[in-house]
């Protein structure tokens, strides 16, 4: 039995989580759920966006499924990553049929360092309010950890190339360190036949539009990874199609990246695909490879058929109708 922490959060997070739990019923896996509160509504009710009780639930679980948070997202998801030391953020960029993907042949992974960089939150404002300073922290230990993860991911998933992304020509000390570490780690994988290359982040942004098929695994720092991941989402139909995983030495948290979408929350029309693909990533993390393949295949079939999909995918079905169609595919 696996213990799974369920944190629906705000807005459409609750709706896509309900859809995910509905679909999970069709898989032959023994799962025990424990629910935790977090997000805007939780803060309104309890005074805290992320109560200690929820942190404890997540830490005790084998994995966590997270829905979405609104204005308190930084207080919730960033803190959870830090509390659990979830150092690797994985954002797959994969083309699925029946979507608004700009290319139909993409399948690469963005591996983003999750614990430092610009997102350490160390900022200060001058007394006159006219100057703001943010600290960017890059360490050897975190760079080694994330680069090792990216190259090992490439090896484990039959990828032949890892691209390091930085801005070492301008950020000479911080990104200079990241680039050096990247190539130090790359040397260890030469014998595995894994190629290493590096690009500046601005060039990478262009290449994602002009030749995205050339990428297999991208590894980069926190802020750059955040930005490039959303560009990747635009290549394959938008944020409603992109799952993510946050992985640490002792835990994993899986979430769609689309946010709480307050403009459509409560209407029941949210696309559940990103949430369900996050479930696929969770199942792979737990070692339930066959169930992950079964769910991924069911999602692909429903998208390809394009009969029972939400309005953003060109259909007229609601969230639970699409989820039910996927569940029926699993059941055969």
Q: Are 106 and 144 in contact (CB under 8 A)?
A: no
Which of the 8 DSSP states describes residue 186?
A: H
Non-local CB neighbours of 158 within 8 Å, separated by 6+ positions: none
Superfamily of domain 1-87+240-332: Isopropylmalate Dehydrogenase (3.40.718.10)
Interatomic CA distance for residues 51 and 99, integer angstroms: 38
Annotated active-site residue 96? The verdict is no
Active-site hit among 159, 167, 179, 327: 167
Non-local CB neighbours of 240 within 8 Å, separated by 6+ positions: 256, 258, 270, 271, 273, 274, 310, 312, 313
Superfamily of domain 107-235: Isopropylmalate Dehydrogenase (3.40.718.10)
- Residue 151, Ramachandran bin (φ over 0: left; ψ between -120 and 50: alpha; else beta): alpha
Active-site hit among 56, 62, 107, 230: 230
Cross-strand pairs, 94: 107
Active-site hit among 33, 53, 202, 307: 202
Residue 43 corresponds to which tokens in the numbers above? 């803060």
Active-site hit among 226, 296, 312, 324: 226
Write out the chain's pLDDT in tens, 332 residues: 999 999 999 999 999 999 999 999 999 999 999 999 999 999 999 999 999 999 999 999 999 999 999 999 989 988 898 889 999 999 999 999 989 899 999 999 999 999 999 988 899 999 999 999 999 999 999 999 999 999 999 999 999 999 999 999 999 999 999 999 999 999 999 989 999 999 999 999 999 999 999 999 999 999 999 999 999 999 998 888 999 999 999 899 999 999 999 999 999 999 999 999 999 999 999 999 999 999 999 999 999 999 999 999 999 999 999 999 999 999 87
Neighbours of 209 (CB within 10 A): 12
Active-site hit among 40, 96, 119, 198: 119
The reported pTM is: 0.93
Q: Where in the chain is the domain with CATH 3.40.718.10?
A: 1-87+240-332, 107-235
Annotated active-site residue 226? The verdict is yes
């Amino acid at each position: 039995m696996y213990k799974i922490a369920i944190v629906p959060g705000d807005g459409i997070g609750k709706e896509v989580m309900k859809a995910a739990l509905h679909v999970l019923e069709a898989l032959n896996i023994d799962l025990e759920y424990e629910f935790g509160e977090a997000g805007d509504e939780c803060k309104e009710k309890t005074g805290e966006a992320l109560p200690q009780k929820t942190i404890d639930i997540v830490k005790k679980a084998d994995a966590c499924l997270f829905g979405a948070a609104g204005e308190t997202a930084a207080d919730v998801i960033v803190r959870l990553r830090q509390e659990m030391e979830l150092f690797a953020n994985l954002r797959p960029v994969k083309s699925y049929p029946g979507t608004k993907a700009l290319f139909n042949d993409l399948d690469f992974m963005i591996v983003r360092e999750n614990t430092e960089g610009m997102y350490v939150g160390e900022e200060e404002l001058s007394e006159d309010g006219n100057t703001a300073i943010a600290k960017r922290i890059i360490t050897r230990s975190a760079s080694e950890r994330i680069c090792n993860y990216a190259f090992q991911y490439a090896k484990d998933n039959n990828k032949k190339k890892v691209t390091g992304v930085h801005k070492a020509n301008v950020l000479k000390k911080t990104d200079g360190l990241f680039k050096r570490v990247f190539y130090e780690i790359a040397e260890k994988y030469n014998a595995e036949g894994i190629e290493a290359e590096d690009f500046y982040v601005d060039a990478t942004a262009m290449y994602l539009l002009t030749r995205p098929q050339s990428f297999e695994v991208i590894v980069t720092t926190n802020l750059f990874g955040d930005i490039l991941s959303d560009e990747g989402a635009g290549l394959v139909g938008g944020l409603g199609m992109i799952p993510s995983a946050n992985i640490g030495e002792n835990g994993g948290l899986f979430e769609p990246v689309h946010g709480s979408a307050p403009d459509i929350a409560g209407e029941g029309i949210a696309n559940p695909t990103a949430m369900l693909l996050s479930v696929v990533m969770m199942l792979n993390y737990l070692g339930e490879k066959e169930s992950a393949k079964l769910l991924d295949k069911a999602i692909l079939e429903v998208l390809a058929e394009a009969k029972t999909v939400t309005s953003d995918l060109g259909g007229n079905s609601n969230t639970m109708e699409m989820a039910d169609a996927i569940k029926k595919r699993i059941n055969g």
